[in-house]
Structure 1
Amino acid sequence: MAATSVAKTIGYYTVSEDERMGWTGGLLILNSSGRPLEFQCTLPVRPSKAHEILYGPTLRAHLIGEIIGELLIKKARTPLTLLCCDQAEALSLESIVDLPVVLVAEAAEPDEGPITEESLSGWQSVDFAGTHFWAAMEHVETVTEMAKTFGDIPDGVEPFDRIREAIKEAHSQIARQQTTPQSTSQVA
């Protein structure tokens, strides 16, 4: 009997913060050639003033790493073999998934603060699709092997742009729905 190989997939996860809309997360799952297999997007999350007060400076990490990320991972129907993120707060997802979670430092937004080797103590850089994926030491060998499997992916950063564009489109659809007058029907 021939052994069946499990399809390798790579997930890209990011969260966009919009002052008007709130926090929206997106998860794009690609095959080894970089083609989309699945996309999940949350509705905007708007923390209450009480949440902002109670969570204080940890609110961002809570939303990105615990609330939005966990929801998207659970909603995904396609099994993941690697999860890439562009926000250091998302690295905490490694505690809830049984797969490597890596940080694509080149994709991190500049206003989110610099990502330095000091902030990634216990992590190691792995060359992957023309970028550097920061992986936890215990996953470096696995991620290095996966880099060979995903050799057809031309750019390790670009999928984050796709997610952000899809989130912008979702926000514009929500805004259109909110401004469209509701039709009423009358029974004669």
Structure 2
Amino acid sequence: MTRLYLIRHGKPAAVWGEADDDPGLDGTGQAQARAARDWLMALPAAERPQLVVSSPLRRCRETAEPTAAALGVAVQVDPIVGEIPTPRALAQADRGPWLRRSFQGTWAQIDGDLDYDAWRRDIARAVAARGGTAVFSHYVAINAVISLLAGDDRVLSFRPDHASITVLETDGETLTLVEKGREAATGVL
């Protein structure tokens, strides 16, 4: 089994629903990105990630960059670890209420044009194939993986704080949760 790390992005300069659809990190988020790098680099060499993967969104890429620089690798962008897809017919202004409704139920109950239960399985498969990697992702995508591993069909089964690091192990196909990252109150709800 190989270790891998699922990291929520640092605190963004704006929250979802505000004017900027793809905000970068604020000063606190930048400090959180450096703290995540320091935590990962302090691991024993056998457990330290060798690759860095990020969601395409700026807040994740900016959180990933200090770790990638310390490891001497480029950030690999992978849309599968990105934000939960919004239904095509939904206006951007309606995303917040849609997410709030979605958070109250199960993956199979999410209203939209996508099978969100299949979406969470796709994310878990993609993460399982990335042993030895630090994966920088989002609140809902991390919940997708953790809820699947816990056998919990609720959309929100875990509340990862900004720059929270969840430790997993993989054999390339299956995932095992070693330790959940830090949980905290969040502005998501």
TM-score by length of 2: 0.29
Whichever structure has more strand as a proportion of its residues is 1
TM-score by length of 1: 0.29
Bigger radius of gyration: 1
